[in-house]
A and B are shown apart, each in its own frame.
Chain A
Amino acid sequence: MRKITLFLLLLGLALAASPMQDRLEQTIKSGGEKFAKDLLTRDEGQAICSQYRDKLPAVQVQGFLDKQRALIKYPADNKLIGDWKEGEKIFTAAARGNCYACHTADPKEAAAGNVGPSLTGYGARGNSDPIVKYTYEKIYNAWAYSPCSTMYRAGVHGILKPEEVANVVAFLIDPASPVNKK
């Protein structure tokens, strides 16, 4: 009996959910073909974050993190620390990383945002393998560490290639980088 009730409840939820999805799809399509394409070709991660308004149920977190981790690709030579000067260009350029929109890094850059944590002096964390790997993976796919967080997934979306992510890692970690100059 209980099983039947549960089944009916789930069926009801499924039926209630689908007209809502249909209506949303119709609303999105009203915005035009290109708008609809951009909104309806969301990947699985975006769809889940949208559904839960960025607050994933605890039981889903591990599975989400695992799937995001599987999206990370590494440079062919597996060197996760590249050229900090190239990294600085990517970090700064609005059409590339645009990282100053949210983070402070080189203390000389006064017009940095404060949406994300400050990265000034990031190199103080050292350059051990775990730190370097974390930094690389966080930049490549922030959602592999923090589900549905604000930071966009530069590597997953192809905005930065693996070698370019490694260059940004260098900008943060290299002792010669202005990020780490006192």
Chain B
Amino acid sequence: MRSSRVWLVIAALVGATLLALAQQAPSPEEEVARQKKLILEQSGILPGELYAAQGEDLFKKKRGPNNVSLEGCDFGLGAGKTEGAYAELPRYFADTNRVEDLDTRIVTCMVSLQGFKAADIKRSDVVAIAAYVASKSNGRPVKVRLDDVKEVAVYAMGKQLWYTRAGAQDFSCAVCHETNGGKRIRLQRLALVQADKVASHWPAYRFSNDQLWTMEDRIRGCYKQTRVTEPNYYSDAIIALSLYMSVAANGADVDAPGFVR
């Protein structure tokens, strides 16, 4: 009798502690801010900036069979002009007759300027260079236009893909990131891709897996989580979705590389 009363008290105490812990648990946004502060305190620099610095090296170094740097690459504002270029990507490029996103444009220049074979290009190099080029648009508003007919067409494809329900879990991009955006999967908040204008802070460093991801990686990650095979890098499918999300981010200031969970 007596021992059962003791157990009751213990159970009540444990319960109260758990409840207090649950109430103290930080919101996902607080957790991101806390992690960011922690890393800044420990190392004085954010990992995303390290990637961008590495990307700057790769960008300026003479590389590839042609032994030239990427400084002559045209990201849409003219050869060699990187300031503000990312804020207007993806866009149509006449030289390839194709709408290209940042990742794809980097690959285009590594092939056409530096003479790399597309198959030999390391994904990690593209990611680092993307972090650098994107950072050159920081503080500028996203301004992705649909001026060319090809841009209009690719945007329409992106929008269709956004709403395409597929795979064994019947997901579409919209199910998580529009219809249920702001709610939580387990404890992770689902981004409202359009309303939160998330494309403005990609590429981003993800502290949950300690990697820098571009929007292409993020799109592939989404498909993988929904048990659908990821689309190829630099494919029209992935560029179309990227264009669709970038237009939704118009007006938001670029903050890249971002810092996300």
Q: Is A110 interfacial (CB 8 A cutoff)?
A: yes
Contact assessment for B165 and A49 in the assembled complex, using a CB-CB cutoff below 8 Å: yes
**Count of CB-CB pairs between chains A and B under 8 Å:** 110
Q: Which of B132-183 contact A (CB under 8 A)?
A: 153-154, 156-157, 160-161, 163-172, 174-175, 179-180, 183
10 A-B residue pairs with Cβ-Cβ distance under 8 Å, sorted by A, are A27-B157, A27-B236, A35-B237, A38-B228, A39-B228, A46-B165, A50-B164, A54-B175, A115-B184, A143-B170
- Interface membership of chain A positions 11-55, coded 1 if the CB is closer than 8 angstroms to chain B and 0 otherwise: 000000000100110111011101101110010001001100110
- What A residues does B187 contact at CB under 8 A? 111, 113
- What B residues does A46 contact at CB under 8 A? 164-166, 170
Task: Please give the distance in Å from A148's CB to the nearest CB on chain B.
Answer: 7
Q: Is B229 interfacial (CB 8 A cutoff)?
A: yes
What is the interface size of chain B, counting residues whose CB is below 8 A from a CB of the partner?
Answer: 40
Which residue of chain A has the shortest Cβ distance to B237 in the bound complex?
A31
A19 to B154, CA, bound (A): 13
- What A residues does B171 contact at CB under 8 A? 152
Q: Is B27 interfacial (CB 8 A cutoff)?
A: no
Contacts known (A38-B166, A42-B166, A157-B168); A101 close to B185, Cβ less than 8 A: yes
Q: Is A62 interfacial (CB 8 A cutoff)?
A: no
Interface residues in chain B, defined as those with a beta carbon under 8 Å from any beta carbon in chain A: 18, 22, 25, 153-154, 156-157, 160-161, 163-172, 174-175, 179-180, 183-187, 190, 223, 228-232, 235-238, 240
- What A residues does B156 contact at CB under 8 A? 20
- What A residues does B228 contact at CB under 8 A? 35, 38-39
Task: Please give the distance in Å from A71's CB to the nearest CB on chain B.
Answer: 13
Residue from B157, B171, B186 having most chain A Cβ neighbours under 10 A: B186
Which residue of chain B has the shortest Cβ distance to A98 in the bound complex?
B169
Contact assessment for B180 and A157 in the assembled complex, using a CB-CB cutoff below 8 Å: no
Q: Is A72 interfacial (CB 8 A cutoff)?
A: no
Q: Which of A123-182 contact B (CB under 8 A)?
A: 143, 148, 150, 152-153, 157-159
